[in-house]
Amino acid sequence: MGRPSIFSRNYEEQMRRRRLNIILIILIIVSAAFFYTKYQLNKRGININIADKLSFLKKEQKDIKQDVNINKENKKEEIKDAPKEENKAVETLKEYIYTSNTNKQFKVIYKEENGVKKFIEVKADGINVDFDILKDGTKVVFDDKENQNIIVYSLDGTYEDITLKTLKTSKYVFEKQKILQRHKDYIWAEKPHFTADGKVVFLTRLPYNLTKRGIFLWYASYNNTKLARLGELSYDIEKIRYDGFDENEGLRIISDDKTFILEKGKFKLKEIK
């Protein structure tokens, strides 16, 4: 196919036809190559559907776009639904200092959280302290074993010594100071505990001196106006322990493997057999 002369009258038309012929030849060659390749692949059992491949690629692109959009929406929802961090309660530990008659210091520790105070512990360096906290945390009772005293603290920092100083019976008068001077190991008042209705009970050898009788559980009022002997327990104070409350709010006491109940509002121990 010769190139037409530029001086020819029909030069532009001839050039247009020439370009069309070239394009047709290229299309024929490409088509022939395509169908020949497809024929050879089909002959070998390889089937390629170009339309399906293009459709698959379009579907993949569509799925990817959908996943991206879903992830964006999920992130928006997570940010929207994320709970705001609640203001954490600030808990502060504070203490009152109780100084005994022999200048031993007891730390009466309470916590203050959002303006609410509650007792949590009583401790003293080098001293074993038995203490109990009222259910609502507003009072704590503990023993000063060295001086054989029972102390009750309130949240305002005031305290009361509810220890019995003198006990009079029909035959004898027991004075705490005199007995402890003669018998330093005498148990006058130890291991206090609250009852469910807020009374204080404690352990003592009263009203006996040097006998083989056991240790007794007594009740004492805060203002020291009322005392009551509730029952006899083990001779060994280490074998006596409080064991929580039953379903009726009775105070359980274990003594020498026996279980006793001090029923709520009552003033007498009852053994559970």
Compute φ and ψ for 121, nearest 5 degrees: -170, 155
Q: What is the pLDDT of residues 171-227, one digit of tens each?
A: 888 899 999 999 989 999 999 999 998 899 999 998 887 667 899 999 987 666 678
pTM here?
Answer: 0.66
Q: What is the pLDDT of residues 45-101, one digit of tens each?
A: 555 555 554 454 455 555 545 655 555 566 555 555 555 555 566 778 999 999 999
- 3-class SS string, 187-244: CCCEEEEECCCCCEEEEECCCCCCCCCCCEEEEECCCCCCEEEEEECCCCHHHEEEEE
